[in-house]
Structure 1
Amino acid sequence: MSLKYAVLAALLEGEASGYELSKVFDVSLANFWPATPQQLYRELERLARDGLIQARVVRQERRPDKRMFTLTEAGREDLRAFAAAPPRRPTAIRDELLIKIQAMDGVDPGTTRGQIEERMSWARGKLDRYTRVRERLLAGRTEDEFLREADRIGPYLTLMAGIAFEEENLRWCERVLTHLRRRSAVG
């Protein structure tokens, strides 16, 4: 899948500048589709050129003008067609840390523990951010109320996947650390 559909889906929330979209990616989409600001800006240009989004310039007094982007009807149709099509292939894990763990035998166990602890720190930070987003989305409602009443539930459902992913990251890291401690106690 290209970045195209992640950007179109982000614009379902409404008009946004490139900067605002990069923040949306940081908070809600990065758990399953990361992108750098440079990639986003290039994709926005392509989507505008293809007629899937439109841009308008907002003049600002003490700052550079900014471009605000919205979905066109063609963009909505393309996104609907994408959402209705079956996924091309299942998700595959590509994680540098897993390669390092695969090759860890003979490496100082402290180095490996440090890498696992760093992963745990990242996962906890993401969980904290996701929890804040969840609270903002729920706005005092229960999850059931939100899922019954909200206009759009897709962002919440993907947030749930991100939370589950990071919780599983933490469980896996704890298991790895437990096994490393057991091995060092024996060896």
Structure 2
Amino acid sequence: MSLKHAILGFLYKEPLSGYDLSKMFDGSRTSYWTATHTQIYRTLNELNESGMVYCWIIQQEQSPNKKNYHLTEKGREELFKWLKSDQGMTPIKDKFLLQMSFINILSEQEIDEVINNRIKRIKNQIDSLRCGDYYKGLKYAKNERERLLMYTALEYGVGLYEFELQWLKSCRAKLDNINRLNEYNSDSE
């Protein structure tokens, strides 16, 4: 239940509204976890009902009232318990890898198109991560150790995309070799 723990982690740093939390998950602060507004608000309600957070309403004249959420002692204990626990191995659940398992059904041209589109998407994601928006969140770190740990998490995300980019290029090169070999064999017959 990592969304619950991600929210508890953000609230450990400071009280936030649901809107503020949504901004945290929009990609500007993390490259490794996403959540929709609906998921965030549903989880906040569950955390509030379970006593891990409480909220208070801030009256605003120019805009709708705002609910600010705070971590309770129970929420803090849950966060620390989770932080100390072994997360085990993360099961791989990757739509693109599943797609690649069956892509042989398509023509060579269609396979090239799928791989090239994925390469473009990955390159754009790497560029986005490196442009600086993702690193703006580092300024909220309370000390150098926190900044370093936040940075290494972002670095890990970039590294995963860089690995996938190299893997895709390798797949494309291997497919090109097979295609050339098949052409050679058909010409030899």
TM-score normalized with structure 1 length:
0.80
Write out aligned runs for 1:8-157 (5 A): 8-27=8-27, 28-29=29-30, 31-87=31-87, 89-131=88-130, 132-133=132-133, 135-136=135-136, 149-151=144-146, 153-157=148-152
Q: SS of 1:104's equivalent? A: helix
Question: Any unmatched runs of 5+ in structure 2?
Answer: 184-189
Residue type at the aligned position of 1:114: E
1:51–1:72 Cα contact (<8 Å) kept: yes
Cα 1:79–1:94 change in 2 (3 A) is same
State which structure, 1 or 2, has the greater radius of gyration over its C-alpha atoms. 2
Q: SS of 2:68's equivalent? A: strand
Question: Any unmatched runs of 5+ in structure 1?
Answer: 140-145
Q: More helix by proportion, 1 or 2?
A: 2
Find the aligned partners of 2:80 and 2:148 in 1 and give their Cα distance. 15
Question: Who is 2:163 aligned against?
Answer: 168
Q: SS of 1:55's equivalent? A: strand
Q: SS of 1:92's equivalent? A: coil
Find the aligned partners of 2:112 and 2:7 in 1 and give their Cα distance. 37
Q: SS of 2:104's equivalent? A: coil
- Per-residue CA deviation, residues 90-141 of structure 1 (Å, 9 max, x unaligned), is 11211111122111223122322222233233323332333214543566xx
TM-score normalized with structure 2 length:
0.79
Q: Percent identity?
A: 29
Question: Who is 2:187 aligned against?
Answer: none
Q: What root-mean-square deviation, in Å, do the aligned CA atoms of Structure 1 and Structure 2 show?
A: 2.5
